[in-house]
Amino acid sequence: MAGYIVQRVSGEPFDDYVEHHILQPLGMTRSTFRQPLPEALQPLMSNGYQVASKPAKPYEFVQAWPAGSAALTATDIARFMIAHLQDGKYEDVQILQPETARLMHSAQFVAVPPMNSMCLGFYEENRNGQRIIGHGGDTGWFHSDLHLIPAAGIGFFVSYNSAGKGQINPRGAVWEKFLDRYFPYQVPDVATPSTSAEDMRAVSGSYLSSRRPVTTIFAFISAVGVTKISVNPDGTISWGDRKLNGEPKHYREIAPLVFREVNGQDRVAFKKDADGHWVMGMDYPFMVLQQAPWDESGAFNNVVIFGSLGVLLLTVILWPVAALVRWHYGRPFTPAHGGVRFLVRIVCVLDIAFAITWIWMLSALNDLGKLSDSRDTVIRVVQILGWLGVIGTIFALVDAFFAIGDRSRWWWGRLHAVAIALACVGFAWFLAHWHMLNFSLKY
């Protein structure tokens, strides 16, 4: 969106504008936003990897360009950092007015005080007693961070061409070790508020990231990405953030609703929004965690979706087994209800097919370039399976209704019919609640 605004205001294509007003004036001759990569720069380009143990990936085309589409060298980005550290000036070139540079570096908005603020293009990353601004980002294969300490005239840039194992943030670890080496800092001791136990209980529970799809067909990703804030026996809270050794970090309250990492500097803070729900702010202010309502909590959705899929999958797997058992004991379906039970099994197959197909599609979407209208036909076919399964829930409910009063059926058969009906209802609710059958394919 910002790139589009640049085009509209300047009257130049974004790539041209950046080259004429930033890259060329700063002498950043080995940098570009253009896709595909210009031929002159292709021999200089690093390979990218999903993980280092797998083969290199081809040059990555970023679909949300110009965000994330820059390819540059460390030497070039150093010139860019120096310009910002000198209020928009590099050597004899002024690419920004000093007041504009200072405005970009100043705090503009904080979601949860007293956490770090968003700036303009940058965000605060204050640490080791220093005011730090920066910006980080990830594409599929590259992972980069830029940090500036304006008061000290220091810029730091790091970029990895694979994510590693993904258990920790390696580029963040390098930056923190740099700060500890050159800006030693002793974390002050702070007394724990007397209301700590009550505060921890109040803020514990399931949270959703503010950076999530809400009404599109991919909203269900939130259901599998719920963050759980839990209270630990040692009087701290944890929420999944991990140390370099892989152990979860523990946070102790240091001020009302403000928690700091035990033996560390990371912080989180809480406040209530206008609807009375908790919002958790972190050191990185570009997102917050929002308290999930009960029907979007991890515990509830796990029970619904995994419980439903478990019943449906077992029904499909044991379908031929059940037929053999009925044949062995001479207990065929009665003509009155046999057709309904057959349709119920077909509904189970449709629901399982829908789930498997969605899992397959998601596994193929590690490249955001595949999130295009080229997938529309496949998504529509899968949604038809989903709609047929949802409509077929009526047959499961009818079968369960007759099964409850049908004494000619074995007790486990009646129980199974009720379980299938509940599973079909649960599965249909999940699809409807998370908009997986949404007619709009705008995502």
Name the pairing type of β-strands 267-272 and 278-282: antiparallel
Pinpoint the alpha helices (H) of 131-233: 170-182, 196-203, 221-224
Residue 168, Cβ neighbours under 10 Å: how many?
15
Please determine, for residue 367, whether its predicted confidence score (pLDDT) is greater than 90.
Answer: no
| Position 329 confidence tier, pLDDT thresholds 50, 70, 90 | low
- Could you give the dihedral angle defined by the CA atoms of residues 15, 17, 23 and 26, in that order, rounded to the nearest 10 degrees? 180
Q: CA 289 to CA 278: how far, in whole Å?
A: 8
- Give the position of tokens 């970029």: 159
pLDDT tens for residues 40-80?
Answer: 999 999 999 988 788 999 998 888 899 999 999 999 999 99
pLDDT tens for residues 265-308?
Answer: 999 999 999 999 999 999 999 999 999 999 998 889 999 999 99
What's the distance, CA 153 to chain centroid?
A: 34
| The model's pTM | 0.86
pLDDT tens for residues 389-430?
Answer: 999 999 999 999 988 887 777 777 789 899 999 999 999 999
CATH of domain 2-182: 3.40.710.10
Report the pLDDT averaged over residues 366-386: 81
Residue 379, Cβ neighbours under 10 Å: how many?
17
Amino acid 331: pLDDT: 60
Please determine, for residue 22, whether its predicted confidence score (pLDDT) is greater than 90.
Answer: yes
Nearest to 429 by CA among 295, 288, 315: 295
Q: Which residues in the chain are classed under CATH 3.40.710.10?
A: 2-182
Please determine, for residue 333, whether its predicted confidence score (pLDDT) is greater than 70.
Answer: no
What's the distance, CA 72 to chain centroid?
A: 26
Q: Calculate the average pLDDT of the chain.
A: 91
Long-range Cβ contacts of 418-421 (<8 Å, 24+ apart): 419/311, 420/311, 420/312, 420/315, 420/344, 420/348, 420/396, 421/393, 421/396, 421/397
pLDDT tens for residues 89-133?
Answer: 999 999 999 999 999 999 999 999 999 999 999 999 999 999 999
Amino acid 363: pLDDT: 72
Amino acid 412: pLDDT: 76
